[in-house]
Amino acid sequence: MVVGGLEKPGKLAFVMHGLSGNKDELHIRSIAEAFLESGYTVVTFDTTNTFGESDGQYEDATLTGYYNDLEDVIAWAAEQPWYVEPFVLAGHSFGGMATSLFAEKYPEKVKALAPISSVISGELTLRTSKYNSQEMLDKWKKDGVWIFKGSGGTEKRLKWACMEDRLKYSLLPEAHKLTMPALMVTGSEDDSTPPTHNQVLFDKLPGKKELHIIEGAVHTFDRPSERDELKEIVRNWLASF
């Protein structure tokens, strides 16, 4: 876990990575830097069962686990002298969904919400090109584990239980509770959480809201120019409330 910006108490943000990610990914750092440069104390952390500094194995990752870790981190922060409410939540992919679920459950604690390339519902993830075909999904379910190559050729394993778990969740039924300012960002070439999925949630948000699509970007904003654009979008948004 990393806490930054303590020299400027009074504004607090939590920034959460996505499935198989970690707090040091370049796009996560870009988001965190936007908060730091806007005068926020920022908490970033590695969830259980990821490739960062926390315990566990990636193949055991679930959305439920991500959400529980977020609640644990916020509970820990509540005991620190720099803790303030309401705070801002930002999350990427699984982290976007986990932070949004928290905001739906505790809207009074959340000043503003930024789901970036967020998972919107488990059902919608089944309709993305990332999972290729029904044949692939059937094989994953039958085998119990999906073995695939990650960035850099690293072999990754993910249990079918992860999909079963995420199918329990959707941000859409309780989206009316997200009355706080909201920022949504995704890439035009994102095959995990495409713009069409983000639009479904965006249309249901009742409060002040923004949706930005970064042209040419994939799920993790791989190009430096895309991360710069993401950072600037977050900075401008923070200046708007």
Any residues with CB less than 8 A from the CB of 14 and at least 6 apart, and which?
Answer: 42, 43, 44, 70, 73, 74, 77, 87, 88, 89, 90, 99
Give the residue-averaged pLDDT of 159-165: 95
Report residue 79 CA to chain centroid gap.
Answer: 24
Res 1: pLDDT? 63
CB 156 within 8 A of CB 145: no
Q: Among 125-134, 161-170, 180-189, 228-237, where is mean pLDDT lowest?
A: 125-134
Residue 153 clears pLDDT 70, i.e. is over it: no
CB 120 within 8 A of CB 198: yes
- What are the strands of the beta sheet with 182-187, ordered from one edge? 2-4, 41-45, 12-16, 87-92, 110-116, 182-187, 209-214
Res 150: pLDDT? 65
Res 151: pLDDT? 62
| Secondary element (H or E) of residue 2 | strand 2-4
CB 194 within 8 A of CB 128: yes
Q: In terms of DSSP bridges, do strands 155-159 and 145-149 run parallel, antiparallel, or are they unpaired?
A: antiparallel
Residue 152 clears pLDDT 80, i.e. is over it: no
Token readout for 158 is 């993910």
Residue 23 clears pLDDT 80, i.e. is over it: yes
Any residues with CB less than 8 A from the CB of 57 and at least 6 apart, and which?
Answer: 49
CATH number at residue 69: 3.40.50.1820
Separation between Cα atoms, residue 165 and residue 67, nearest integer Å: 12
Any residues with CB less than 8 A from the CB of 99 and at least 6 apart, and which?
Answer: 14, 16, 70, 89, 90, 91, 113, 114, 115
Quote the domain boundaries for residue 102.
2-238
Total tally of structural domains belonging to the chain: 1
pLDDT band at 155 (very low <50, low <70, confident <90, very high): confident
* DSSP 8-state symbol, 170: B
Q: Is 184 exposed, middle or buried (0-12, 13-18, 19+ CB in 10 A)?
A: buried
